[in-house]
Structure 1
Amino acid sequence: MGLLDTMRAKLGPAKSKVSDLAQRHEGKVHHGLEKAAHAVDKRTKGKYSDKIQSGTGKAKGAVDRLAHKGGKGPDTGGTTPPPNVGGSTPPAGPPPAS
């Protein structure tokens, strides 16, 4: 058994526990992310608003993937990108035809 296999075996129970907590407290986590993003945006006087929105969207997407893994919600399977909250990432799929 390699190092990676050992780490996966030890982190398996923690992953399911984190997933359960993310599912039960998803709304609170989203609210906390919004509150933190607003505080940072205010302190930086809007200078990094686009970066903050992008990071917040990615964090919310990660929480959503954690919360809905295991068949209790929509099956994301890691193939669906996080929601485009900040508008800074291009849409998924092939580029438009000319």
Structure 2
Amino acid sequence: MGFMDKVKGMLGQHSDKISKGIDKAAGMADSKTKGKYSNQIRTGTQKAKDQAQKYGREGGGGKGPQSGS
């Protein structure tokens, strides 16, 4: 099992925690920039969540939205 396979597996198993972490980081970045880059942060946050979900599904994680769990 390669490194990326392990990462994908973890993304699938912990997608809820990863999503919360992305939101927390985005909130912190938005706070530090005093809202100046809110649109860019929001866009980046959504793209990061989309990729995390994609890789989580590829890794066969049990908690992803496409897994049926």
Runs of 4+ in 1 over 4 A off after TM superposition: 70-73
CA separation of 1:31 and 1:45: change in aligned 2, threshold 3 A: same
The number of residues matched between the two structures is 64
Give distance in 2, aligned partners of 1:26 and 1:66.
Answer: 10
TM-score if structure 1 supplies the norm length?
A: 0.59
1:42 aligns with 2:44: no
The answer to whether residue 11 in structure 2 is matched with residue 18 in structure 1 is no
Identity %: 38
Give the TM-score normalised by structure 2: 0.81
CA contact (8 A) 2:12 2:60 kept: no
- Could you tell me which residue of structure 2 aligns to residue 58 of structure 1? 47
Q: Residue 70 and residue 36 in structure 1: after superposition, are their counterparts in 2 closer, same or farther (change >3 A)?
A: closer
Root-mean-square deviation over aligned CA pairs: 1.9
Q: Distance in 2 between matches of 1:58 and 1:33?
A: 10
Structure 2 unmatched ranges of 5 or more: none
Kindly indicate whether the alpha-carbon contact (under 8 Å) linking 2:12 and 2:56 is maintained by their aligned counterparts in 1: yes
Bigger radius of gyration, 1 or 2?
1
Bigger share in helix: 2
Tell me the equivalent position of 1:28. Answer: 17
Can you give the 5+ residue segments of structure 1 that lack an aligned partner in the other structure?
Answer: 1-11, 76-98
